[in-house]
Structures are given as structure tokens and as C-alpha cells.
């Protein structure tokens, strides 16, 4: 049998994403952190969203406290999820989304604590600074 005949016996590749997904063997669903990570990246260029993560001292917060800023960001995440058919996040309590946002911000090295301990892009040991 020639190489061309063997190749022509293979089934064609799925032509659409929907067809591709129909062939998936595992039915892995996204976790809350996965969805929040996706939304975090999509919302990052929104100045209002990003400003809610900017403060590293309470006096710099948008809404008056870290907690209030975190809740405002979580509301933006949940609203985005509802508009974009992301059921895991849409149906999740704000407190859980806040927790997830903290996990996700650490993934990108953008948590308040990570940024607070950096000087000129370098992490510093705050104990060494006190000596």
C-alpha cells in the first residue's frame, strides 16, 4: 500500500472548535482559580480594575480599605463572568472570588505583599533593612 493511500484513510480533522471539543476524552472543567485567572488577564488593561490592585498601603486604596478594593474587583470579575458565560465564577460568592483573586495575583507576582517588598524590581528582605 502506498503512503498516499494510508494517509487518506485517516479521519479529517475537526473543522470547528465545537467539533474539536466534542472529541475531547476528558471532561475537565475549569476551576474557580482557572476562570478567575482568565478574567484577571482580560480585565487587566481596564484602568478601573487595575487601580483596585495598585495600593500597597491603606491610604492608597480606591474604596478606603484593602478589603473594599478586593470586593470591588471581585464584583467586576463576577459581572464579567456573567456577561461572558463563565458559570463557575458567575455563581460564586464574592468572598470566594476575593480569595481566588489573591491566588491569581500571586501567580503574576502582583499581590500587595509581593509588591510591598520590592524596591526597583528586586525583592528585598525587610529584616535586613531594619539592621
Sign of the C-alpha dihedral computed for residues 68, 74, 77 and 78 taken in this order: negative
**Residue 127 in this model has a pLDDT that exceeds 70:** no
Residue written as grid cell 480533522 = 13
Say how far apart CA 70 and CA 95 lie, in whole Å: 9
Res 40 pLDDT > 90: yes
Alpha-carbon distance 124 to 122, whole Å? Answer: 6
Least confident of 55-69, 80-94, 117-131: 117-131
Give the pLDDT confidence score for residue 34 in this predicted structure: 94
Q: With a cut of 90, say whether residue 6 has pLDDT above it.
A: no
Tracing cell 494510508 back to the chain, one arrives at 6
Gap between the Cα atoms of 105 and 102, Å rounded:
5
Mean pLDDT of 31-54: 96
pLDDT band of 3, cuts 50, 70, 90:
low
Q: Please, which pLDDT band fits residue 11 given cuts at 50, 70 and 90?
A: confident
Distance, CA of 65 to CA of 7 (rounded, Å): 63
pTM of the model: 0.73
The pLDDT, as a whole number, for residue 121 is 65
Mean of pLDDT values over 51-63: 95
| 8 A C-beta contact, residue 76 and residue 97 | no
Amino acid at each position: 500500500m502506498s503512503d498516499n493511500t494510508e494517509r487518506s484513510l485517516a479521519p479529517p480533522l475537526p473543522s470547528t472548535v465545537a467539533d474539536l471539543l466534542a472529541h475531547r476524552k476528558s471532561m475537565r472543567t475549569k476551576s474557580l482559580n482557572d476562570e478567575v485567572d482568565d478574567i484577571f488577564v482580560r480585565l487587566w488593561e481596564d484602568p478601573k480594575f487595575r487601580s483596585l490592585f495598585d495600593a500597597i498601603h491603606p491610604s492608597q486604596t480606591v474604596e478606603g480599605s484593602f478589603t473594599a478594593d478586593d470586593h470591588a474587583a471581585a464584583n467586576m470579575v463576577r459581572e464579567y463572568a456573567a456577561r461572558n458565560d463563565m458559570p463557575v465564577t458567575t455563581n460564586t460568592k464574592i468572598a470566594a472570588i476575593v480569595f481566588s483573586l489573591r491566588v491569581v495575583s500571586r501567580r503574576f507576582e502582583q499581590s500587595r505583599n509581593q509588591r510591598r517588598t520590592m524596591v526597583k524590581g528586586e525583592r528585598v528582605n525587610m529584616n535586613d533593612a531594619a539592621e
